[in-house]
Structure 1
């Protein structure tokens, strides 16, 4: 926008046929999207037939970028994906990977004049490499929720906004999202983060998309449940065996449900809350 570039706005990115038709007349230079959209487009024949010789930059946000999506996008378009992070309360960007030096699995570094810290349950900073809640301070952070001082007081501490996301600082200086605090699954006292299990599942060549939630369990408190869409036919045992090869035993899904499609928002973000319901 700042450079006066022509923008093609897609009102319904879930309609992939229409999306491809809308961008087909243009030699796109820049593309922004979400993990599920990248996967869907890379499987669409019409999209794969487009000319990507002028595509210089692709930015991802809204949900964790998986290695499978990043690899598929590079194979299809020849372009890397630069993942960023933020929320509506941060207007909406707080961090971004270095362009062409992306560290897949990380959300990059804080933007200019922005401070990111990782706090423990007592709202104190943790050591580098330890996980905790991501907090953000900067000129793009909101002053508070409109006419909701009670909610503002819950999330604003010492000028920092408490995001509700669990993360950590990597040795590279980049930050990594582990998962949403409210989405964490506790199995026999052990923390299981759905993002980690989903990322492993999506690296299986037969799996298209995956969503992981927790469900009550009499023996372990909670159990891991995986909802999966497929590129080609496999059975539950094959999925389970694959997970056991790549995950600790307590992280392996105890319930595996195959679906035609996963519930998503209008922009393509997978809705875990609907799977819980």
Structure 2
């Protein structure tokens, strides 16, 4: 089976049902099928074949979905590019992926040749809406998604049809997503959170989706109130913004919502607690990566434990390993290893990086975690985020979680800075409001933490540098 075989449950089986709302326009699943057929015929006219690549540098739009489906129908590898990327990052991806075609909305950074969206729309409209999908299978690469590259040049994770299929079926099943749901999606389609989770869940379940160009917190209340979704996927920064909504609006939203899901960056226990109090919902936190899609999730039925990511999804094996290669015990910290049909086929043109990323069939995530006696997994931060001060290990997330519980602190990131004698020292970068009391924060940290864990400086900033999906870019703080 390939993706199109699975998506036909909706593209053909629900062809007359409203599939998507975007910019005040609605499209049925049949419309989406015909549009993507036209796009597939366009790709064939450009002599693209199975295994060829297309790069797409677009904001959220229906045409981006058309392109993704057309790529799946033709066996072409779909490569979404983060629209926040600049010339250096775009140049690297294009040089590495060697696409036969690039689609962009306006000029592409670096001056690369591309087909502009307006020209694409005009050209595609002339093609027939009939198309017979090219024969592919589950092992055929469907997408090449580049990692954020915070520690060096980004690598392209090869995601197969089976990766997308297993991911979509797991989420639709475990989160009880059905065609009755109304799904509000404001995440960027260039990221797997929206592409592999959002689009998959929508097309497999046959629910009605409202696609937004982007999340705008000033418009969030109106979007929720007018569309009245039952399902929302977000990142921590979105939920922090939603907490600014008036209490009566939050209550009304909570009445028609069924499920809030959070991922792509850690959600603080405090945010989860505050959200439950205001909206009446426990946010379902889950854990995934570009290379593995979704791995672990809190349960839909059962306790969604604050600060944890829950249990392994069906068909996925998770183990926590110590540096010496032996399994960690209960509540013993180690690196999270993942194995399953969700794990990518490797890195594009990076044979050694692929070899180095796997041990006995398990993918080494680089994330540190612990498992409780009843199986809930808690992430403790990135392995590379570890601060070693005077021989002592310091995990930034422990300090960050505590600081976020304190009055006046809205966001925080703890990093290690070089120190002449101790190697590194922790420093906290803080986004605060009018309730922030610097002296109180210093004193409460002294009462709470061992001396080596106490941040040596608390630096107030207007904002924390983040990726488009809300992940804090700690390497940029060192330059600030």
How far the C-alpha of 1:35 sits from its partner, in A, is: 1.7
Correspondence 1:124 to 2:332: no
Cα offset for 1:45?
Answer: 4.1
- CA shift digits 1:93-115 (9 cap, x unpaired): 00001124111111110011110
Superposed, 1:77-96 pairs within 5 Å as: 77-90=279-292, 92-96=293-297
Residues 60-99 of structure 1: pairs in structure 2 closer than 5 A: 60-90=262-292, 92-99=293-300
1:180 aligns with 2:421: no
Q: Deviations over 1:189-237 (max 9, x none)?
A: 1111111111000001211111111101123211111011112243432
TM-score, normalised with respect to structure 1: 0.93
Residue 232 of structure 1: SS of its match in structure 2? coil
Match of 2:260 in 1: 58
2:328 and 2:467 map into 1 onto residues whose CA distance is 34
TM, length-normalised to structure 2: 0.55
Aligned mates of 2:278, 2:232 — CA distance in 1: 14
Q: Distance in 1 between matches of 2:237 and 2:338?
A: 26
Q: Alpha-carbon deviations, 1:45-65, whole Å to 9, x = none?
A: 496475320112111111111
3-state secondary structure, aligned to 1:38? helix
CA distance in 1, matches of 2:434, 2:454: 21
If each structure's helix is expressed as a fraction of its own residues, which one has the higher value?
A: 2
3-state SS of 1:238 partner: helix
- Residues 1:108 and 2:318 are matched in the alignment: no
SS of the equivalent of 1:94 reads: strand
Match of 2:422 among 198, 202, 220: 220
2 CA distance for matches of 1:248 and 1:10? 46
Contact 1:12/1:267 (<8 A) preserved = no
Q: Distance in 1 between matches of 2:421 and 2:272?
A: 38
Residue number in structure 2 paired with 1:33 = 234
Please list, as runs of the form range in 1=range in 2, the aligned pairs for 1:204-219 lying within 5 A after superposition: 204-219=406-421
- Unaligned 5+ segments in structure 2 are 1-201
In structure 1, list runs of 5 or more residues that go unmatched: none
Q: CA RMSD in A?
A: 1.8
- Residue matched to 2:451: 249
2:461 alignment counterpart: 259
State the Cα distance separating 1:258 from its structure 2 match: 0.7
